[in-house]
């Protein structure tokens, strides 16, 4: 018997299930953050995005739907979150750019700043790339090929 999801994994009956499929738990994502299933400190996957435009309360970064995916659950506050700016939200998304809205009074990062963007749905984000760069304490330690890339047939 198969079942489960990341939000329901802890409640699953191990005596009844022979397989548990909590797909997001390994990396975490913004949807699980907003559901309270995980905390930001445990999120292991983010995309690096550079601030390419800014104005008061808003930054535009160079990561859009082609890297983050376009999923947005009805309960989500946007199209993703920023690890280093937890109160900011991605409020608009195009193929190559995302608009990040910061709370009133927050300082918008300067042009050229590199931000860690957490996609709403990590499964889609991983499926969009050929490789993941693994870092430990800010140092690249490995590159993982995405073996399932392009195998959605």
Q: Between β-strands 80-82 and 131-136, what pairing exists: parallel, antiparallel or unpaired?
A: unpaired
**Confidence label for 15 from pLDDT (cuts 50, 70 and 90):** confident
Q: Which fold has domain 2-145?
A: Lyase, Ornithine Decarboxylase; Chain A, domain 1 (2.40.37)
Distance between CA atoms of 115 and 106, rounded to whole angstroms?
15
* Cβ neighbours for 10, distance < 8 A, ≥ 6 positions apart: none
More confident residue, 32 or 16: 32
Q: Between β-strands 80-82 and 58-61, what pairing exists: parallel, antiparallel or unpaired?
A: unpaired
| CA dihedral of residues 107, 79, 62, 52 (deg, nearest 10) | -30
Percent of the chain exceeding pLDDT 70 equals 96
Number of C-alpha atoms within 13 angstroms, CB side, residue 114?
Answer: 4
Q: Between β-strands 47-55 and 114-119, what pairing exists: parallel, antiparallel or unpaired?
A: antiparallel
What SS3 state is found at 32?
Answer: helix
Phi/psi at 96 (5° precision): -115, -5
For the stretch 40-95, pLDDT in tens is 999 999 999 999 999 999 999 999 999 999 989 899 999 999 999 999 999 999 99
């Amino acid at each position: 018997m198969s079942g489960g999801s990341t939000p329901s994994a802890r409640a699953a009956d191990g005596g009844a299930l022979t397989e548990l499929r909590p797909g997001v738990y390994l990396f975490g994502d913004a949807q699980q953050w907003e559901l309270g299933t995980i905390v930001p400190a445990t999120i292991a996957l983010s995309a690096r995005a550079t601030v390419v435009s800014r104005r008061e309360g808003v930054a535009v970064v160079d990561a859009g739907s082609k890297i983050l995916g376009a999923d947005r659950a009805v309960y989500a506050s946007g199209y993703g979150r920023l690890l280093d700016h937890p109160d900011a939200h991605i409020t608009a998304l195009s193929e190559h750019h995302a608009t990040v809205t910061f709370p009133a009074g927050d300082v918008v990062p300067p042009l050229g700043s590199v931000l860690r963007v957490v996609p709403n749905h990590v499964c889609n984000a991983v499926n969009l790339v050929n490789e993941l760069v693994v870092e430990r304490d800010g140092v690249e330690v490995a590159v993982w090929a995405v073996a399932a890339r392009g195998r959605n047939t």
